[in-house]
Each structure stands twice: as structure tokens, then as C-alpha cells.
Amino acid sequence: MFAKIRYFILNIFLILIISFIFISCKKNNSNTSTTPPVASGQIVIDSCSGLSGVNEKCTLVTNASACTGAKCSHLVVIFSGGEMGCISGTGYTTALETYASNGYAAVCINYFDTSTGSGNAPYIDEASRIDLAVKEATTGTWAKSYWTGEYLLLQGISHGATAPVILMARTSLANAGHWKGSKFTGGCFFDGSYDQVATANLLATGALGGGPCVTPVSYTRGLERYCGTGATGTTCNLSTNTKAQQDTISTVSVNFAVKDFKMFECGSSRPVCSGDIIPGAPVQNLCNNINTTSGYTCSFTALPNDGHLTCHGNEFDQCRTWFESISP
């Protein structure tokens, strides 16, 4: 009889210990899962390193200061220009703050660490790292904590208006759910390069005396993107280069996952090199091409007197007002 009682007490004791462990673990897991990431800060994506053949990470700079009490219904994802300025560029900080003041969750993506890294591969080859960064920006822990998933505005300048749009035009990656808001998605892009031969021709003779542009964007940067270090106009023919032609989309057959766009050309009346870096005609041609395709819209705006380096900083809020005017 005593042995049975002892066996019974031992079993009760073991059950109590197991229950205590289970409750403690459940409590700890609950605390971990309900603690949101900081609303405004930086998220480094280590897994970008090595993608597109470049050993550099991606970084998100976030501002969800408007979304701490309740999740925001609107999210803007801004793709940096080739300088990768989300962390250090005051213009991007101002854009994030302005969106936050209008009730948005806002994130800026550096899809490389450096401007050198962003010049090392054809735009089409950057698709995997851009897709990975967008996935983190729209479905990662930060996004789930501060955004309802409803309205998504994709926005970019220069390189940031080029590579994401080429991704949409040439791959199926943007068909994935992390490229869409559940209610509405729009794309607003400033001065993207959509015809690589036209861009190279503009920069080839834009300097004083008819020489090639050297700064702020050099003529050779575009050549070396496709033909490697040391490429020249003699050794690198972009009109026959396969990757350069894939990166030329002004007349592409439109089958984009995003249906509604606004596009800007910048600086076409400014001096080449210092003010005009991207030819305006391919931007307008792509926008017209999109707009005349059934089921799509594209609104084109020319900013001929606002240079390539300043137009986004001066006019980025046009994207927000456009997006809100067409959102259902």
C-alpha cells in the first residue's frame, strides 16, 4: 500500500514539474513574439551578401513613428538612387519623415552597401537582392508590427527607379504577394534609365568640349556595368550586349504585376552631366506604353528644370498625392 501511495505522489510531482516548465516556456515565447521591433531604425539583411555577384548587404531604414498606437494602412517603400543614401542622405530622411507625418509607415531600401557595389552588375541581375529586400520591407517583423498590409506605394529615383521597374518588366518576381498591398499598389518613379544605349549616348559627349561625363555619374560607369572594368565605347557595344538589351524596356510588352504608375523625367533642359543624366524620351515612351495597355495606367510628368540629383528631393511628395488620388 505504501509503495502505491509513493508511486502516486511521485507521478503527481512529475506532472507539476512538467506543467511548470510548459507554462514558463509558453510565457517566454509569448513575450518574445509580442515585442515589436523598434518603429524607426535600421534592419540589415545579411542574406543579400553575394547576390548578383556582389558581396554587400542590404539595409532598410524605417520610420513607423505614426504607427505605434495602431498599425498604419499605408506603407511606402523608397528605393535609393545608386549612391545608396538611405542612411546618410538627408533627402531620404526628409521623405520618410514627411510620409510618417501623413500617416504612413515608411522604409527606404539600400540594396547595396556602397555606390561602388551598385555599379557592378546589370540591373536585371540585381533582381534577386531587390526582391529579398522588398520581402523583408513588406512582410518582415517590422512590417507585420506596423502595417496592415492594405496600401503599398513603391517609389524610387535614378537607379532606384530603374532596377525595380526592370524587375517588374523582365521577371515574374513582382507577382509574389510581398510586392502587393491587399487593397491597392502603385509605383512612382523619378528618372529611371530604360534605354541603356540612349543613356550612354547622352553621357558620352555631355561634358564641356564634347567629352564624356565624369561626375556625378561617369560615362564609363554604364559601360563597366555590362562589359567589366576598363570598358570603353570602342570595346563595349551596348546595342548588342545581351544584358544591356534586357535592361532596355521602353518598348517592352507590358505585363507588369503593378498596374498603376506615375513617372517623372528630370533635368532635360539642364546641362548634361551636372543636371541631365538620364534621357527623358525613354521615360515618357515607357509611361506611354504602359498607359496605352489595357488594364494599366501611367501618368507622366516632365521636370525639365529640376536636375537629376535634386528632383526627387524636391518633388517626392507628388508621389503621395498621386497615390492617394487614385487609390480606391
Any bridge partners for residue 107, and if so which?
62, 77
In a domain, 180, yes or no: yes
In a domain, 3, yes or no: no
Buried b (16+ CB within 10 A) or exposed e, 176-214: eebbbbeebbbbbbbbbbbbbbbbbebbbebbeeeebbe
Q: Which three cell numbers stand for residue 21?
A: 516548465
Task: In whole angstroms, give the CA distance from residue 222 to residue 200.
Answer: 7
C-alpha angle with apex 218: 217 to 219, nearest 5 degrees? 125
Give the pLDDT of residue 42: 98
Task: In whole angstroms, give the CA distance from residue 287 to residue 298.
Answer: 5
If one counts the domains in the chain, the total is 1
Give the pLDDT of residue 20: 46
In a domain, 12, yes or no: no
In a domain, 241, yes or no: no
pLDDT, one tens digit per residue, over 110-157 is: 999 999 999 999 999 999 999 999 999 999 999 999 999 999 999 999
Give the pLDDT of residue 208: 87
In a domain, 10, yes or no: no
Give the pLDDT of residue 26: 43
Q: What is the 3-state secondary structure (H, E, C) of 169-231?
A: HHCCHHHCHHHCCCCEEEEEEECCCCCHHHHHHHHHCCCHHHCCCCCCCCHHHHHHHHHCCCC
**Backbone phi, psi, residue 14, to 5°:** -65, -40
CATH of residue 129? 3.40.50.1820
Give the pLDDT of residue 34: 61
Give the pLDDT of residue 311: 97
In a domain, 118, yes or no: yes
Query: In Å, what is the CA distance from 190 to each residue of 229, 242, 287, 319?
Result: 28, 25, 12, 10
> How many Cβ atoms from other residues are within 10 Å of residue 233's Cβ?
14
- Amino acid residing at 221: R
In a domain, 173, yes or no: yes
Question: Which residue ranges of the chain lie beneath pLDDT 50?
Answer: 1-2, 4, 7-8, 10, 13-14, 16-33
Task: In whole angstroms, give the CA distance from residue 23 to residue 178.
Answer: 35
Residue 167: which domain range? 40-195+250-326
Q: 155: part of which helix (H) or strand (E)?
A: strand 147-157
Task: In whole angstroms, give the CA distance from residue 68 to residue 11.
Answer: 47
Strands 72-79 and 184-190 come out as: unpaired
In a domain, 123, yes or no: yes
